[in-house]
Amino acid sequence: MSSLLTLFALLLGAAAPSVDGEPINKNCPIGKEAIDQETFVEYGGHTIGFCCGGCDAKFLAWDTEKKDAFVKASLAAQKQEPKAFAGDPYLVAVCPVSGKKIGSMGDPIVLEVEGREVRLCCKGCIKKVKAEPAKYAKVVDEQIIAAQKPLYPGAVCIVSGESLIEEGEDVGVDTVVKNRLFRVCCKKCAAKVKADPAKYFAKLDQAVIKAQLAHYPLKTCIVREKSALGSMGEPVNMVVGMQMVRFCCDSCIPKFKKDPAKFLARLKPAKKVEAAHSHADDGHEHKPKN
């Protein structure tokens, strides 16, 4: 069945479904160049990436022994270079120093500040960040908290499960780990999140998906706008920056990760349309404002 799906996808010029969405290889087995993050096939339960269309069919034409040898070598290379848990991509849109939009003054300047990525609008901001790194790391955290807090699911500690509301007052501690907001009851719980971020990302992802699934505004894949959700099997859900996104298949995930801000922007017009429809259907007469 898997081989039939692969052949069908190739005939349509589309990527075949994959198991985890992440290609096991960095370079194309045919062209020997870096994979294009758009052309994939599934083989033996693994996603194989290619440098261009056409190489995928050539790979599938190899005999089983040759394909298996390539998979084995790629997996061995992965084990030699274990990846640290990445967390969320950097989605802060403005410079923490100048307040200007990232990209408004050319390519962003990417710095490592206190062990984390920070993006600046221009070289002129570098000196200030290096002089007071903690100050600007805090500014970035505040921007992440402001963007993600309105979407945060529930009011209980992500670690202990204790309520963050006492006598009607929010007593939660906001902590940012790998570009994601976590709300905890105390500093001890914040330390646990930092010590094992993958565990708590997974836990928070489940809560976000549960909270947002019923109201998700798109009927098509966040990447392939013409591909209806469900047209290629069960849709794939992912959380980025406290926002759930949905894909028609795993093969779309690498392309999304290449430029998440571009695809997340597609949710905003959809949400406006959904809000307008909800407003129009609430049973009240709405007169235009003068």
pLDDT digits (tens, 9 = 90+) for 104-160: 999 999 998 888 899 999 999 999 999 999 999 999 999 999 999 999 999 999 999
Contact in structure between 75 and 48 (CB atoms under 8 Å)? no
Per residue in 151-164, pLDDT (tens digit) is 999 999 999 999 99
Contact in structure between 270 and 255 (CB atoms under 8 Å)? no
Residues in Cβ contact with 257 at an 8 Å cutoff, skipping those fewer than 6 apart: 37, 89
CA distances for 77 relative to 44, 133, 224, 283, angstroms: 17, 36, 31, 61
Residue 208 sits at the vertex; the CA angle it makes with 206 and 134, to the nearest 5 degrees, is 105
Average pLDDT over residues 78-100: 88
Report the alpha-carbon distance of residue 76 to residue 70 in Å, rounded. 10
pLDDT of amino acid 7? 45
**Residue whose C-alpha is closest to residue 123's, from 104, 109, 113, 133:** 109
CA 96 from centroid of its chain's CA atoms: 22
Kind plus residue range of the DSSP H or E element containing 43? strand 39-43
Per residue in 220-254, pLDDT (tens digit) is 999 999 999 999 999 999 999 999 999 999 999 99
Beta-strand pair 236-240/243-247: antiparallel
Per residue in 8-36, pLDDT (tens digit) is 444 433 333 334 468 899 899 999 988 88
Percent of the chain with pLDDT over 70: 84
CA 54 from centroid of its chain's CA atoms: 28
- The pLDDT confidence band at residue 205, using thresholds 50, 70 and 90, is very high
Inform me whether the pLDDT recorded for 289 exceeds 60.
Answer: no
Q: Where are the beta strands (DSSP E) in 67-212?
A: 109-113, 116-120, 165-166, 169-170, 173-177, 180-184
Inform me whether the pLDDT recorded for 48 exceeds 90.
Answer: yes
pLDDT of amino acid 26? 87
